[in-house]
Amino acid sequence: MSGFEPGDAAAVQQLFDAVAPRYDQLNDLLSLGLHRLWKRQAIAWVNPAPGQRCLDLCCGTGDLALLLAARVRPGGSVLGLDAAAAPLALAARRARRQPWLPLQWQQGDAQDTGLPAARADGAVMAYGLRNLADPAAGLAELRRVLRPGARAAVLDFNRIDLNESDLSGIDAAGSPGREALLAFQRFYLRRIVVPVARAVDLEEHYAYLEASLLRFPTGQEQEQLALGAGFAWVQHRPLAAGLMGLLLLVA
């Protein structure tokens, strides 16, 4: 089990500072590059347009911010915000290779960004909600910074709950049952992710993934939290046969 405590903001910041140099390489390897497809699905939902102001919260090394910035030109802007300094430094370095992109970076807390209300025309968050001390507070802050009618997408691992009454079609004919899906997710995290991370001295950091899922809201719970935060429309959509999830939001 990981020594990093889920919900401990300082520990999570330390974790992402440590993994930053290997983060993109490991994402490509462990997802077989599919994380890029899932991120593009998030961008497609937000549907950024030239002239808009968009946010990438928990932006990490900047994958989604770079995609957004290419879509809001000319006249738009993208702010990438993350609590950890090392991923932000890598994001800024990547952005310098494309100086024409309208990007800014800010270190801060996605639960309390300090940004003006109704600032953004769209927002994304990838693999960030699960790492916040209070996911409900993160969704409330996301709603606060979006203008009415703006879209947001939250991408993350899916917590598979055997007791949940519905899993958004996961149990439909031809789809894996919950027990098999949960067993595969555990196998993937324990027998693939952790050994690969061990090879680059990051075993403890990636063992944290399974620990963080234990306290992460399920898809249905995320929908309820988002409605409670004031979003007008919400839908949690399973990806990768239910191993991942995409929370679609309209402010």
pLDDT in tens, 169-197: 444 444 457 888 889 999 999 999 999 99
d(CA 126, CA 122): 14
Q: Per the domain annotation, does 3 fall within a domain?
A: no
d(CA 21, CA 15): 12
Query: pLDDT tens digits, residue range 112-168?
Result: 999 999 999 999 999 999 999 999 999 999 999 999 999 999 999 999 887 765 444
Phi, psi of 12 (to 5 degrees): -65, -40
d(CA 134, CA 220): 17
- What pLDDT is attached to residue 5? 72
Q: Per the domain annotation, does 4 fall within a domain?
A: no
Q: Per the domain annotation, does 193 fall within a domain?
A: yes
- What pLDDT is attached to residue 161? 80
Q: Per the domain annotation, does 203 fall within a domain?
A: yes
pTM score, whole prediction: 0.91
- What pLDDT is attached to residue 162? 75
Q: Which domain holds residue 182?
A: 9-250
- What pLDDT is attached to residue 174? 41
- Helix extents (H) in 47-193: 63-72, 85-96, 135-145, 178-187
- Token pair recorded at residue 228: 């409670």
Closest CA to 49 of 80, 65, 73, 79: 73
Q: Per the domain annotation, does 219 fall within a domain?
A: yes
- What CATH number should be reported for the domain holding residue 218? 3.40.50.150
Output 162 or 89, whichever has higher pLDDT. 89
Q: Where are the beta strands (DSSP E) in the chain?
A: 53-57, 77-82, 103-107, 120-126, 146-157, 233-239, 244-250
| Domain count for the chain | 1
Query: pLDDT tens digits, residue range 203-237?
Result: 888 898 999 999 999 999 999 999 999 999 999 99
Q: Per the domain annotation, does 2 fall within a domain?
A: no
Q: Per the domain annotation, does 148 fall within a domain?
A: yes
Q: Per the domain annotation, does 1 fall within a domain?
A: no
